[in-house]
A and B are shown apart, each in its own frame.
Chain A
């Protein structure tokens, strides 16, 4: 069980939350202009990284707000938590290779 520091409520147990997959995947502005490969990459292809991984969580049984988490998927250590719409903190970008 993870202990997740919600940026709005503080540390709570994982069972209060729901993970929403990889973070920073933007919905394409004009899907009609994309190739099939680009569309497939947006829909299905994922980083699925072993190591520091950027993911979205929602505090489903709490404040119901979404936020981003940087977590090491090999050790389950949470490295950083930051709000939706913001970029990952500089301290961790060296540990994450953004695609």
Chain B
């Protein structure tokens, strides 16, 4: 089952180079659905593929299908700004995101696939006294949880990011920043591809262009899904569909506390290296890093109104670019090359929902809103545990759907980079 794909190494590179690169195998196979699986995962993005990978690897469950209505990693996984960090305020979130960051740190080796993790540091800027107090509170909370985090004053910010504008007379002056040095970026597509390859290698079926049209149930228990490629049976189904979670929940007969919005990002033309870290600002809503190709990757805020159109409003990015030019005057004459949008499923407390649903055997992993990419391996890891055992792992036990009834909310609006 594994033989068709060799291990990637310096030797395979040389061997294939000598053969004019004509011998590379596909990294994973696109399958047609079988009639029945132990577990079906709806959604072939990073979180779904990570779930399938850890189901196979950690729990030995390999009779698994990942079904994706479009193409693998073509939703928010391929549309985010690739930022990774774990500097969240509350213990529940800090543990979950830190688990994810730790998995990221060894993921290239684990998957034998270069995800190009670059721990270049992530800065969160403070533009007023309140921002600064909140950042200090969060840095202290991080340190209590064993997560690296520090406060920089204005001068240190300038030293760390020489192109930043620290003029005290600017509209949003920089009073300081928090810095997580272990934060950074990774190649988003590679994360999806690496998990897909690892899952496929272990026997998981990846089925693309297969849309779920109904969730089959019998006496309150899930029995399978109806799809555009026919009925597929399973006693356990995991829904990992980000922006479309409310629609899938509606098919299954329950509601979620989610609101879906378009979130945009854009890249500039490539330039020489000017920025070797990630800079984020909650107050002016812009976050930026420079890709290996030299493009500045810029994230915007969410749209003002709900939407499933995967394209946002122009006035939103006008605001973002205004903020960018004030923070980095050097960028004012850069041209934008591409702009795109994804649909983010925001939760009232800016924390995800990972666990059971009112339907037996149907589990959901959603509500990551504007910050799901950093959580990809951790989310898959805990969701695989939840699907395999039927119960949440200690790391996702607090992230239930019930918390909106019990009132045990995990308010991470301060740590989420994009206000919603």
> Which A positions have Cβ atoms within 8 angstroms of B?
1-2, 13-15, 17-19, 21, 36-37, 39-41, 43-50, 53, 55, 57, 71, 73-76, 99
Q: Which of A15, A44, A47, A75 contacts B404 (CB 8 A)?
A: A44
A1-B315, A36-B406 are contacts. A73–B309 as well, Cβ < 8 Å? yes
CA distance A21 to B259 in the complex (A): 9
Segment at the interface with A among B41-49, B159-167, B198-206, B300-308: B300-308
Tell me if A74 and B308 are in contact (CB < 8 A): yes
CA distance A86 to B281 in the complex (A): 41
Other contacts beyond A45-B256, A47-B255, A48-B258: 20, CB < 8 A: A14-B304, A14-B305, A18-B304, A19-B306, A21-B259, A36-B405, A36-B406, A37-B405, A40-B405, A46-B255, A46-B256, A47-B246, A48-B260, A49-B250, A50-B247, A57-B305, A73-B260, A73-B308, A73-B309, A74-B309
Contacts of A45 in B (CB 8 A): 255-257, 404
CA distance A43 to B9 in the complex (A): 54
Contacts of B260 in A (CB 8 A): 48, 50, 73
A1-B313, A14-B313, A14-B315 are contacts. A50–B308 as well, Cβ < 8 Å? yes
Nearest 7 interchain pairs by C-beta: A44-B257, A48-B246, A19-B305, A40-B405, A50-B308, A45-B255, A44-B404
Tell me if A73 and B306 are in contact (CB < 8 A): yes
B297-329 with Cβ < 8 A to chain A:
304-309, 313-315
CA distance A1 to B262 in the complex (A): 12
Tell me if A40 and B404 are in contact (CB < 8 A): yes
Tell me if A46 and B314 are in contact (CB < 8 A): no
A40-B404, A46-B255 are contacts. A53–B348 as well, Cβ < 8 Å? no
Contacts of A74 in B (CB 8 A): 308-309
A37-B405, A46-B246, A49-B246 are contacts. A76–B259 as well, Cβ < 8 Å? no
Does B244 count as interface, using CB distance less than 8 angstroms? yes
Tell me if B405 and A76 are in contact (CB < 8 A): no
Tell me if B304 and A19 are in contact (CB < 8 A): yes
Contacts of A73 in B (CB 8 A): 260, 306-309
A1-B314, A14-B315, A40-B404 are contacts. A46–B308 as well, Cβ < 8 Å? no
23 contacts between A and B (CB under 8 A): A1-B314, A2-B305, A13-B315, A14-B304, A14-B305, A15-B315, A19-B306, A36-B405, A36-B406, A37-B405, A44-B257, A45-B257, A46-B255, A46-B256, A46-B257, A48-B256, A48-B259, A48-B306, A50-B246, A55-B306, A57-B305, A73-B308, A73-B309
